């Protein structure tokens, strides 16, 4: 991880998933810092001061679900993170709803999990080209 890299917020209620995501990110030079939240409420409270560039967001969580959090994120004008929706329930209705609400990516945990590092590298490259 480096000081000029991306800040990433990982949101999932399953500790094993959060640990696996952290391991994936630990070897990426494009990442400066990663924060974790076990629920959408905690994640939402981190948004203002952490200002993540990317949010990896699970759909099914107790309390506020990921779709509701996605709606709230996209209503805010002070942040505009890339949002990667992550779910074990990759039904087309979920995918369509998330994309309609402004998700940038929709990944199936069982099939697409390992795509996350390449997405992060791509987002970092796009940011570097903008500046």
Quote the CA–CA distance of 16 and 123 in Å, as a whole number: 25
Question: How much is the pLDDT for 99?
Answer: 96
pLDDT tens digits, residue range 29-55?
999 999 999 999 999 999 989 999 999
What kind and span of H or E run contains 43?
helix 40-50
| pLDDT, tens digit (0-9, with 9 covering 90-100), for 73-109 | 999 999 999 999 999 887 788 899 999 999 999 999 9
Q: Domain spans of the chain?
A: 6-130
State the average pLDDT for the chain: 92
Give the E-state strand segments of the chain in sequence order: 6-11, 31-37, 54-58, 82-87, 105-108
Instruction: Give the whole-angstrom CA distance, residue 30 versus residue 54.
Output: 12
Where does residue 51 fall: left (phi above 0), alpha (psi -120 to 50 degrees), or beta otherwise? left
The vertex-36 CA angle with 59 and 94, nearest 5°, equals 10
CATH of 6-130, one of 3.40.50.2300, 3.30.70.890, 3.40.640.10, 3.30.420.40: 3.40.50.2300
Does pTM surpass 0.85? yes
């Amino acid at each position: 991880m480096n000081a000029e890299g991306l800040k990433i917020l990982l949101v999932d209620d399953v500790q094993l998933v959060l640990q696996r995501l952290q391991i994936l990110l630990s070897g990426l030079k494009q990442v400066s810092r990663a924060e974790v939240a076990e629920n959408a409420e905690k994640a939402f409270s981190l948004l203002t001061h952490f200002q993540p560039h990317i949010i990896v967001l699970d759909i099914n969580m107790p309390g506020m679900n990921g779709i509701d959090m996605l709606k709230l994120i996209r209503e805010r004008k002070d942040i505009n993170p890339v949002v990667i929706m992550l779910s074990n329930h990759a039904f087309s209705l979920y995918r369509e709803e998330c994309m309609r609400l402004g998700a940038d990516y929709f990944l199936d945990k069982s099939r697409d999990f390992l795509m996350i590092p390449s997405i992060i590298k791509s987002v970092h490259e796009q940011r570097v080209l903008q500046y």
